[in-house]
Structure 1
Amino acid sequence: MNVSTTSLNNSFIEEDDMRLGYNHESIVNFLEKSSIKEWFSYAIETTDAKQLLDRFVVTLSGSFDLYLEQLLDLFTLSIMMMTYQRDNLLLMKERFMLIDVVSHLADSLDSEEIHYIASGLYENLVTGIGLERLERVLDMHAAIPALVESSSLGNDISVALLLTIMGQYTGKSIPLDNKETARKAFELAKLINWHQLANSGRQADMFMLVRTFSLIINCRSIREECPDWKDNLGAEIHKYFLQVRKAFQSTAAYGPFEMMIERFIAYCVVRGATTTPQLCNYKISEIAITDSQ
C-alpha cells in the first residue's frame, strides 16, 4: 500500500480548522488506564511534544516480548501523538518515527490479531457523534501515511482500521483478509444513504465516511490487488460518486462545509477513481539517516 504523504495531508482549510488534536491531559489519562503505563511514567511531567516523542522512541528501542493488549496500547499512543501539539509543524519526522518503531515491535499478526488491533484502535480513539466523531477519525487519518510506509504490519493495520471505520458506521462486519479491499469498501459505501446524510444535518458523518473511502481507493497496492479495477471497479466508483456529489442539490443548507465535501468528492473520489495515486519515494527509517548526514 503506497500513498503520498503530501497528497494525504493536502486537505482543505475548513477541515483543519475543526481538528484540535490531543493534549497532555488526554495522553496522561490514556497511559494511566493502559497496559503500558509503567513504561512511560515520565509522561506525567513532560509536556513538550519533541521531548515526549524522543523519549518514547528511546524507551521502545530495546527488545520486547509484548502481549497483544500492549501492542494495541502502543499503536493507540503513537496515533495520538500524531496530533499532539499539532500546531508544531516541525515534528513530522519524530511523529513518523514513533509509529515506525511501534510497527516493527512485532513481525506479523494473523487476521484475528489484526482485527483485534483495528477494532481496539477504534474503541480507544473514536468518541461521540457528529463533529466530535469526525474530529477523532481525522486524527486517526493523520497516522495513515506513517502506518502504510512503516512496515507490512503497519500497512495491514491501516487497511483494517479504515475498513473498520466504515464497518462500524454501517453495522456490517467484513473479513480482513487483504483481498478485494477496494471492492469491500465500495460495497460498504453503497449501503450508506448519502442523500439522507446531506439532508438531515449529518454532513460530519458524510465527510468522515467519504474521506475514509477516499484513503482506501487512493492506494496503489489496493488497486493492484483488485483484478477488475481498470476494466470495471474504477469506472463503477466514478459513476456512483458522481451521483453522491449531487446529494446537496435538494438541501436548503449549503455553506462552506458542504462545498468542501462536494469538492472533496469531486477531486479525491470521482477523479481519484480514474487516476494513478502518487507514491512516497522514501521509507520512514531513512529520514533519520538523511538528517544525520
Structure 2
Amino acid sequence: MDISVSSLNTSTLEEDEVRLGYTHDDIKSFLYKSSIGWWFPFVDETKATKRLLDQFMICLTTCAPKNLKELLDLFTLSIMMMTYQKDDSQLMKERLNFVETVSQLPFTLDTEGVQYIAIGLHKSLVDEALGKERLERVLDIHDAIPALVKSSKLGNDIAVALLLTIMGHYAKVPVELGSNNAQKAFALAKLVNWQELADSDRHADMFMLIRTFSLIINCRSSREECSEWKDLSAEIHKYFLQVRKAFDNSMVYGAFEMMVERFIAYCVVRGATATPHFCDFKICDDTNTNTTNAEA
C-alpha cells in the first residue's frame, strides 16, 4: 500500500538558513493556554534562556503535576526549551537537565497514558504543519529525544511513542503503542511512496520521516524487545538500499538531497546492523555541551 502525500513542495532549502527554534513569544503563548501557566508568573518579564531554565527548575521543587494534562504541558514546555533561543548554544547541559527532570517526576503511566502524552505532544508541537515547517518542528523534537530516552523508562516510552506518532500521523494510520516498536516503524516506513516524494521534490518530508525512523531503530529499547532483530535489520538494510536510489532520476539534486542520501546510507542502511549507542549519551558536569556516541 502506498500513501499519497499532500505536503508543500520543499525543494528550495537554502543551506544558510538556520532554525532559530522557539521564541519568547512562543513560550508565553503556550503557557497562557496551558494548565501550568500559573506556575510560572515570571515568564512575562524573563527572556534570558539560563534564567528561565533556572526558574523553571526551582518551580519544579515546589510544584508537581496532578493530572495527565499538567504532565503533558510540562513535557511540551521542556521540549520547547531545548530549542528556545537556539543561537544561545552554551546552555545545552541546562536544557537537557530540564527535560530529564520532567521525565523523572514520580508519575506512572500505562500504555494509554503514554499514548495520550505522545498524541498531545504531536498536536502541540507539530499538528498540521506541512513541508519545511513540519521538518523544522520535528527536528526541534528530535533535539530532545536523547535526553528523554536516557532519563527514565517513562521518558523512553514517551520518546519512542512520539516518534511513532509522527510517522503514523504522516501515513494517516493509527499506531498501536506498547511493544514491537521497531517492527511497527518499519511497517510505517513501507507505507511511504519514497519515489513519489523524491520525484515531487518533497525532500523535507523525506528527511523528516527517515530521521524519525532512524531514531526509533537506533533506540536500544526498540532493539532489545525485538527477538528477531537480526532478520528485521537485514530487511531494513535491503529495503533502504532501494530507497536511497530514489534520487537517481530526480530533477532537483543539491546539497540537501546529497545529505539525505548520506543519512540513509550511514544512519539507516549501515545503522540498522550496528550496535545502537545514541541512548548512552551523558550530560557531563564539566562542560556545557552534550555528547552522543553514534556509531553508523
Q: Quick check: TM above 0.5?
A: yes
The CA distance in 1 between the partners of 2:235 and 2:154, in whole Å, is: 30
Deviation at 1:105, TM superposition (A): 2.0
Q: Do the aligned partners of 2:139 and 2:208 also contact (CA within 8 Å) in 1?
A: yes
The within-5 A match list for 1:92-241 is 92-127=92-127, 128-177=129-178, 179-230=179-230, 232-241=231-240
Change (3 A) 1:18 1:283: closer
The superposition leaves residues 156-175 of structure 1 with CA deviations (integer Å, 9 ceiling, x where unpaired) of 00010000000000011121
Deviation at 1:80, TM superposition (A): 0.2
The CA distance in 1 between the partners of 2:252 and 2:49, in whole Å, is: 40
The within-5 A match list for 1:262-281 is 262-278=261-277
The CA distance in 1 between the partners of 2:78 and 2:184, in whole Å, is: 27
Correspondence for 2:44: 44
Correspondence for 1:20: 20
Deviation at 1:19, TM superposition (A): 1.9
Q: Aligned partner of 2:242: which letter?
A: Q
Deviation at 1:28, TM superposition (A): 0.5
RMSD: 1.9
The superposition leaves residues 60-81 of structure 1 with CA deviations (integer Å, 9 ceiling, x where unpaired) of 0235251111110100000000
The CA distance in 2 between the partners of 1:79 and 1:41, in whole Å, is: 20
Moved over 6 A (4+): none
Correspondence for 2:6: none
Which TM-score applies when normalising by structure 2?
0.88
The CA distance in 2 between the partners of 1:240 and 1:24, in whole Å, is: 43
Change (3 A) 1:250 1:221: same
Deviation at 1:107, TM superposition (A): 3.1
Does residue 75 of the first structure (1) align with residue 70 of the second (2)? no
Q: Do the aligned partners of 1:19 and 1:138 also contact (CA within 8 Å) in 2?
A: no
Q: Secondary structure at the match of 2:40?
A: helix
Deviation at 1:250, TM superposition (A): 1.4
The superposition leaves residues 116-156 of structure 1 with CA deviations (integer Å, 9 ceiling, x where unpaired) of 10000000011520000100000000000110111111010
Long gaps (5+) in structure 2: 1-13, 288-296
The CA distance in 2 between the partners of 1:17 and 1:149, in whole Å, is: 30
Q: Do the aligned partners of 1:18 and 1:135 also contact (CA within 8 Å) in 2?
A: no
The CA distance in 1 between the partners of 2:278 and 2:192, in whole Å, is: 30
Q: Aligned partner of 2:24: which letter?
A: H
Does residue 256 of the first structure (1) align with residue 255 of the second (2)? yes
Which TM-score applies when normalising by structure 1?
0.89
The structure that is helix-richer by fraction is 1
Q: Do the aligned partners of 1:122 and 1:164 also contact (CA within 8 Å) in 2?
A: yes
Q: Aligned partner of 2:250: which letter?
A: T
Change (3 A) 1:16 1:157: farther
Correspondence for 2:5: none
Q: Do the aligned partners of 1:61 and 1:101 also contact (CA within 8 Å) in 2?
A: no
Deviation at 1:274, TM superposition (A): 1.0
Change (3 A) 1:246 1:18: farther
Deviation at 1:18, TM superposition (A): 4.3
Report 1 or 2 for greater relative contact order, CA contacts < 8 Å, sequence distance ≥ 6: 1
Q: Secondary structure at the match of 1:105?
A: coil
Correspondence for 2:60: 60
Correspondence for 1:6: none
The CA distance in 2 between the partners of 1:156 and 1:197, in whole Å, is: 30
Moved more, 16-25 or 219-228: 16-25
Q: Secondary structure at the match of 2:277?
A: coil
The CA distance in 2 between the partners of 1:56 and 1:125, in whole Å, is: 20
The CA distance in 1 between the partners of 2:16 and 2:165, in whole Å, is: 23
Correspondence for 1:247: 246
Change (3 A) 1:96 1:120: same
The CA distance in 2 between the partners of 1:83 and 1:254, in whole Å, is: 29
Q: Secondary structure at the match of 1:166?
A: helix
